[in-house]
Structure 1
Amino acid sequence: MSEIDEVLDAVGPRLRTLRNRRGITLADLSAETGISESTLSRLENGQRRANLELLLPLSRAYDVPIDDLVGAPRAGDPRVHLRPIHQHGMTYVPLTRRPGGMHAYKMLIPGHPAEPALKTHSGYEWLYVLNGRLRLIVGAKDLTVPPGEAAEFDTTEPHWLGSADGGAVELLILFGLQGERAHVEPRMT
């Protein structure tokens, strides 16, 4: 068996593991990517070979580079090329690239007042404020978190992050889809 065959044969199990770790059904993945459930199933079971037409939408859906989906060996360049993500008026800079497990982000909240809009989603979040004063609402708790302090919470509880004083806020976030907890005691009193 050639090296290319070995790499291609490993794609299906890697995709199945990634989908299962994220708790996504084939139906959900099909709806997000436009790839039929049967094609996704055959791909995961090794009955269909991966191609760019399938890998590009899967890469977008999982928010990972195609190299991670196929298990491509790392190139000799050790630099990490960070690509900021802009959502909900905030900027997220991913600091990790591996699928599943904990993800680390540097988050920048612009310095303008915003009306809280509490959201929920699956997972668990740990944050550390680097600069600025963070307003953190989790459930009925409305807190101000200054630089050098940390907080953690279950993201299935309604929550919102914003500026406490109208200034920009810079923080580090660890986020786990399956509810992994950082080994830090929460300071939410």
Structure 2
Amino acid sequence: MTQEDGELDSLVRKRIRALRVAQGWSLEELASRARVSPSTLSRIENGRRRLALDQLVTLARALDTSLDQLVENAADDVIISPTIDGARGLMRWPIKAEPGMSVVRQRMTNPPPDNPGRLRAHPGREWLVVLSGTAVLLLGNRRIRVETNQAAEFPTMLPHAIGAEGGPCEVLGIFDRDARRGHQRGDDAQDSSHPAP
């Protein structure tokens, strides 16, 4: 076993224990759910038993996670640096999400467009949470103020745009697969208030 394999092995064992504790489950409870003996589970968590693929699959299922997430290697890049687009008044921090979803943190300084022709529509759904400041969501004919700690959810088939009001705002946006594709396809015609994820 290489050092890297040993580190991953240790990480997987720590994850199993941490997920069990986070659920508030005893060794016995998780062992019952995973159909292994408590002593086997204890030896797995403590590194005294070899990790077998079939047991990892069963444990992942019992812990309501996937095998991929259970054995995922520690990411090298923990710190995410923002990309800055000064011309459009945007600072964005791309954040990893589940397959099919895209999560983007963005800092906006520009208001939404005045021209209704600049609103965009495409298939999908979008969710957003305002982390700081005040955002303005243009949704069809509506103008909606979204304050710090408020969230909004809407189908992206409604013409929409988002921007800042009264100073910079930071927004965490979550796009489903269709909404993400819609923003990526429209990147060339992108308005200043709603960047592609």
TM-score interval, normalised by the smaller of the two chains: 0.3 to 0.5
TM-score by length of 2: 0.45
TM-score by length of 1: 0.47
In proportion to residue count, which structure has more helix? 2
